[in-house]
Amino acid sequence: MPAPLYLQRDQPEGVPPLALTGERTLPDVPEENYWYRRHLIVYEWIAARVGGMRVIDMACGEGYGSATLAAGAASVIGVDANPEAHEHARLRYEGASLRFERDLIETFTAPADAVVFLQTIEHLQDAGAALTHFKSLVGEGGVVYLSTPNVRTLAPRGAERSDNPWHVHEYTASEFERLCEEHFDTVEMFGLFHARKLRAHEIALKLGWDSVHSRIGVTKSFYGWFTPAISASDFALKPKGSADLERALDFVTVCRV
């Protein structure tokens, strides 16, 4: 089996680095920084809203999101079934209010005020069953935070879906909103968009930047600087009604029982 192309860099002593496979995003991989920051901004946005709550971070992966949530939450449990990801998270992130459990999202149970389930619902065969389970965990007055990529901006132009082999179903805005409304009493929907450096880059591409950087021989040097320099603040969340969600990168919903 060929060696993975990318491994996490500069991990603390005793923490095994994870390989970038496309199944989950990782920090500490410069080439992956765009996707890591794209996910981190949503975790930071949620963290500002779950202060003092008992939170379950389902399909927590590497653990960085659970650690972000734990900055203000009363407690956070990061749940993931993958043995390598679980062991890495357990060793990498520590805190009095944070712990990690290896389990399936369908079978893990614990009392919670909030469940967080980001960039994973597109991996599921039965998304409805997962939402029913999350609803039972938070109960009346609880909240479930969900996110998923927008198929219309993720898939290549003219394609029905992306080529990500881990994705079972990729959603349009209306599909994702309808799925959430079938299971929760109230649903607030947001879209994630490029901002600051990424918005400027987006405009430059429309003006023909792709044909310029290769011609003048700066592709490697420019993107060698640009990609690692992306920060969470280069993305912005906008509520439904204030922006065209059909153009969003990802959808984020706040679902209440």
Q: Does the model's pTM come out above 0.85?
A: yes
Q: 30-194+237-256 has which fold?
A: Rossmann fold (3.40.50)
What is the torsional sign of CA 52, 56, 61, 62?
A: positive
Please report, for the chain, the start and end positions of each structural domain, with discontinuous segments joined by +. 30-194+237-256
Q: What is the pLDDT of residues 78-132, one digit of tens each?
A: 999 999 999 999 999 999 999 999 999 999 999 999 999 999 999 999 999 999 9
- Going by pLDDT thresholds of 50, 70 and 90, the confidence category of residue 163 is confident
Percent of the chain clearing pLDDT 70 (strictly above): 98
pLDDT at 3 over 60: no
Asked if residue 77 lies in contact with residue 99, where contact means CB atoms within 8 angstroms, the answer is: yes
In whole numbers, what is the pLDDT of the chain averaged over residues? 95
Q: 11-44 burial, b if ≥16 CB within 10 A, otherwise e?
A: eeeeeebbebeeebbbbbbeebbbbbbbbbbbbb
